[in-house]
Structure 1
Amino acid sequence: MPSPKPALSPAQLDAFLRDGFVRVDNAFPRALADEARAILWADTGCDPDDPATWTRPVIRLNQYGHPPFRAAANTPVLHESFDQLVGPGRWQPRFVLGTFPVRFPSAEDPGDAGWHVDVSFGYEHPDFFEWRANVSSRGRALLMLFLFSDVGEDDAPTRIRVGSHVDIARQLAPAGEAGLTLRELAADGFARSAHRPEALATGPAGTVYLCHPFLVHAAQPHRGTRPRFMAQPPLLPAEPLKLEREDGAYSPVELAIRRALGLA
């Protein structure tokens, strides 16, 4: 019998290496998105049918482990995708989805729309600008964007600098395992990746973007008509990423870093 079709095609894996992200359509059912969104709406304190109650550009909700969220994060297609990108046995299942920045249509500046990468260790420091990332991506295997509502171009989709994971890998490499703080990474305003083309994380509810942990991305104001619901949890590693493996069994996340540094 022929082997089952993999979750991610060879072309998608190549795109991940080149661009730093891959879009997974129908990663979880729309019905789960609808259930989860009802929970989130209740916690915003806003009325989904009354835009007069949508008084802030963004409301941040945190740490949802209710059944629809757990189910959305653990579908077979996502688990297989994690195996393909990070390696079987090298990642930890998600049972709680992290921060939900719920974005509302607003002319007001949300105040959080700058370019950045998500740092992954040093969280014990009280100043988040002192949190760190390093070239082997300690503490983070993937950045993930879970769309729990339909997101069009006007609905504050996350902006992505295509291929920017290469620039960050090269910036981090000289700092070794100690890595750099967010303050150091952002010292030039992420100018090293400013030449990169931009993509938007759009799609229907149930879409998930699986991103290299070094991908430069940014929020933006909401110019549409319906609030956007998205989770942005990390996929945590079950073991450290390695840039030198005796058996050469590099995951695409590791291989992308090695290629950026001229090691592959």
Structure 2
Amino acid sequence: MAPQTLTEEQIEDFVRDGFVRIEGAFPRELADQVRASLWKQLDMDPDDPTTWTKEVIRLGFCDEEPFVRSANTPRLYSAYDQLVGPGRWKQPTTMGTFPIRFPTKDKKPEDAEDFGWHIDAGFLAVDIGVETYKEWQGEMAVIPPNYEETFRYNVWSKGRALLMLFLYSDTGEADAPTLIRVGSHLDVPPLLEPAGREGRYLHTDDVGVDRPLASATGNAGDVYLCHPFLVHTPVANVGSKPKFMAQPNLEPVAELELDRADGRYTPLERSVRLGLGR
């Protein structure tokens, strides 16, 4: 039997804190290839900061081999199984989106132009059209009309098993690491349960506001596997180099089972039940 990626302690950290960092989840060489490809899409000079004229640029999804291979390593497969359950997740076939954050002058991290506490667990309640969806996911980050009626969340985390943060560049405290409210995933289920399967939209600015904070720092090749209810926000890059990251969804095969007769819940399911006080 191949060695498992996560220890029992790390699994319990995920249940309690809502995330776990996997060091060296994919080779640094793949990260180098991905960055090189993204630089070509950016049409900027990686060696000339005067060409870095925007705070953040979002690139869409990519199915090129280095991108996809970075999400399909044995270490990640093992971790997906351990957290979501064997056979309960779909193999990633594309990577994205890519929020690329460039150094900013005279800014604090919380001054990011898109700073905002949120969760990435939503599903489309109505059809907004492919083009609108692409605009919303892409560089312009166009917010669809009637956003609160369009996107919803339910306690079974419809459509998303994990939020994943793939670090394609070394990311220190100054390099726009995603800011996380530790344990905030436990505050979300009680807000969603009354809405049933239809779900509801949540304003999460104040959800988990008293929770401790953690920054998703690490090296190129590290991956954070996060609970879909984890409240987090982007921050400004106050360092000296661009920050490259992808934030794909690990899609589920089936929705969570929160009332198993045999009581054999996955860590993902256990964390939701913990938030519900079960």
Fold agreement, TM-score > 0.5: yes
Question: Aligned residue for 1:129?
Answer: 148
Q: CA deviation at 1:175?
A: 1.4
Give the letter aligned to residue 68 of structure 1. Answer: P
How far residue 249 of structure 1 moved from its aligned partner, in angstroms, is: 2.5
Aligned Cα root-mean-square deviation (Å) = 1.3
Paired position in structure 2 for 1:120: 122
1:210 aligned to 2:225? yes
1:77 and 2:42 correspond: no
**Counterpart residue type for residue 30 of structure 1:** R
Determine helix, strand or coil for the equivalent of 2:214: strand
> CA offsets, 1:180-230, max 9 Å, x none?
11xxx11xx531310000000000000000000000000001000010000
In the alignment, does 2:239 pair up with 1:224?
A: yes
**C-alpha distance in 2 between matches for 1:5 and 1:33:** 24
- Per the normalisation by structure 1, the TM-score is 0.93
1:52 aligns with 2:50: yes
- For residue 162 of structure 2, the aligned residue among 130, 137, 142 is 142
State the distance in 1 between where 2:85 and 2:118 align: 26
CA distance in 1, matches of 2:23, 2:93: 21
Q: Which of the numbers 248, 262, 266 marks the counterpart of 1:233?
A: 248
Aligned ranges 1:112-191 → 2 under 5 Å: 112-122=114-124, 124-125=127-128, 126-127=144-145, 128-130=147-149, 131-181=151-201, 185-186=202-203, 189-191=204-206
3-state SS, counterpart of residue 96 of structure 2: coil
Give the Cα separation in 1 of the matches to 2:148 and 2:234: 18
Distance 1:197 1:95 in 2: 34
Matched, 1:248 2:263: yes
Q: CA deviation at 1:43?
A: 0.6
SS at match of 2:164: strand
Distance 2:63 2:253 in 1: 20
Tell me, what secondary structure is at the counterpart of 1:203? Answer: coil
Aligned partner of 1:139: which letter? Answer: G
- Gapped regions of structure 2 (runs ≥ 5): 129-143
Rounded to whole Å, the distance in 2 between the matches of 1:6 and 1:119 is 27
Partner residue, 1:98: 96
CA drift at 1:248: 2.2
In 2, Cα distance between equivalents of 1:90 and 1:252: 12
CA drift at 1:142: 0.4
Paired residue type of 2:276:
L
Please give the per-residue CA displacement for 1:110-163, whole angstroms capped at 9, x wherever unaligned. 421111011321262443333011001011000000000000000000000000
Moved more, 246-255 or 210-219: 246-255
SS at match of 1:192: coil
- 1:241 is displaced (CA, Å) by 1.3
Residue equivalent to 1:111 = 113
Q: Work out the percentage of aligned pairs sharing the same amino acid.
A: 53
Partner of 1:14: 12
> May I ask how many residue pairs the two structures share in their alignment?
256
